[in-house]
Amino acid sequence: DAKTTQPPSMDCAEGRAANLPCNHSTISGNEYVYWYRQIHSQGPQYIIHGLKNNETNEMASLIITEDRKSSTLILPHATLRDTAVYYCIVLIGTASKLTFGTGTRLQVTL
Amino acid sequence: DVKVTQSSRYLVKRTGEKVFLECVQDMDHENMFWYRQDPGLGLRLIYFSYDVKMKEKGDIPEGYSVSREKKERFSLILESASTNQTSMYLCASSLGDNLRNTEAFFGQGTRLTVV
């Protein structure tokens, strides 16, 4: 599975868009990009995933570059409850070993 | 709603004890995972299983074993607990063969302290 690189921490003002980058330059053609987040003291929670097209759901949008070497998770209107560690993961299929890096700690402030 | 239940929220064990951490899921998921989480090290995969009686080593399997005798239950075993196994342990499950539903669901975690 491809490795990912994320900044260790980011800040965002409440109400503004939070744009969380992820680099996955060694991604292969059949690997998906997944995003999870972990709010303090809870288990990680799935946010969104995609292969090559941009995706949007009720939580977030995922923008994947044309060469698929990087992606951005967008929280359009961040709230204090979005303060969490965000993990970007790439993997093939559903039986792959699901491994997490150290993620990006997003702090949303007033 | 998918539910992943870990048997204990907090556990204190003595060095050298055999420790069982149990995880049960109620959605007929094929895949199950065990992680540990330590400050500054993120979530690290210990073992995973993609079917009954099947297991694969993760990134840090040393000192651990697992058992999956039934589809809904995945047990993590510390054969002889040591203080460096003090950690938060998280279990997860996911569907095995449908790319449209590949999110993993996590339990609330077991905080294990080995004294």
Contact B33 A45 (CB under 8 A): no
Interface check for A110 against chain B (CB to CB < 8 A): the answer is: no
Among all residues of chain A, which has the CA nearest to that of B96? A94
Share of residues in chain A with pLDDT > 70 (%): 95
Q: How many Å apart are CA A84 and CA A24, to the nearest integer?
A: 21
Indicate the pLDDT class of residue A13, thresholds 50, 70 and 90: very high
Interface check for A7 against chain B (CB to CB < 8 A): the answer is: no
Residues B53/B38, Cβ–Cβ less than 8 Å? no
A35: burial class by Cβ within 10 Å (0-12, 13-18, 19+)? Answer: buried
- For residues B38-64, b (16+ Cβ closer than 10 Å) or e, as one string? eeeebbbbbbbbbeeeebeebeeeeeb
B108: nearest CB among A36, A43, A101: A43
CA distance A79 to chain B (A): 23
- Residue A39 has phi, psi (to 5 degrees) of -85, 145
A51 three-class SS: coil
A94: nearest CB among B41, B45, B99: B99
Summarize pLDDT for B30-75 with one digit per residue, the tens. 899 999 999 888 889 999 998 899 999 999 999 999 999 999 999 9
- Model confidence at A77: pLDDT above 60: yes
- Report the length, in residues, of chain A: 110
Quote the Cα angle for A107-A24-A85, to 5°: 20
Strand-pairing partners, residue B26, are none
Q: How many Å apart are CA A103 and CA B43, to the nearest integer?
A: 9
A101: burial class by Cβ within 10 Å (0-12, 13-18, 19+)? Answer: middle
Summarize pLDDT for A94-105 with one digit per residue, the tens. 556 788 888 999
What is the residue-averaged pLDDT of chain B? Answer: 91
Q: Which of B2, B4, B10, B43 to mutate to test the interface with A (most CBs of A within 10 A)?
A: B43
